[in-house]
């Protein structure tokens, strides 16, 4: 659920503000952004991936296997989007501000925002099942 909050902040606040940094310092800003963001989101993303795989390998009684698999598929799609769509734009922006790269980053990040939001709903549903509420 942590990453749902992070992705909405990034989508609505952080990425749109890239265009206000200014050309002269943008490459340094972008490099610092990528390095520091990795420190904040890297560990939670790894924990999220490990727990998603663990739930598939050993789905607890009373938990829908289809929900667990759906959560894992959504997470795989998020990682693919990150690797194939957003990370290359960050590489481009690391060389300096580029309006088309920035627009693509903001637009393509909606995919991760939607996927992580759906995954968050799945996680809540799994939690409800675990608590005997679903």
Residues 6+ away with beta carbon under 8 Å from 34: 90, 94
Q: DSSP letters of 46-66? A: HHHHHHHHHHHHTPPTTS-HH
pTM of the model: 0.94
| pLDDT tens-place values along the chain, 134 residues long | 999 999 999 999 999 999 999 999 999 999 999 999 999 999 999 999 999 999 999 999 999 999 999 999 999 999 999 999 999 999 999 999 999 999 999 999 999 999 999 999 999 999 999 998 76
């Amino acid at each position: 659920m942590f990453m749902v909050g992070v992705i909405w902040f990034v989508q609505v606040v952080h990425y749109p503000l890239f265009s206000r940094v200014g050309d002269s310092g943008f490459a340094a800003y972008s490099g610092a952004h990528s390095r520091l963001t990795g420190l904040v989101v890297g560990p939670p993303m790894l924990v999220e991936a490990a727990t998603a795989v663990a739930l598939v390998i050993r789905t607890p009684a009373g938990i829908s296997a289809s929900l667990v698999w759906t959560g894992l598929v959504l997470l795989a799609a998020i990682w693919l989007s990150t690797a194939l769509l957003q990370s290359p734009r960050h590489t481009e922006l690391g060389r300096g501000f580029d309006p088309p790269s920035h627009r693509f980053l903001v637009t393509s990040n909606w995919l991760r925002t939607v996927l992580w939001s759906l995954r968050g709903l799945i996680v809540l549903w799994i939690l409800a099942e675990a608590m005997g509420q679903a």
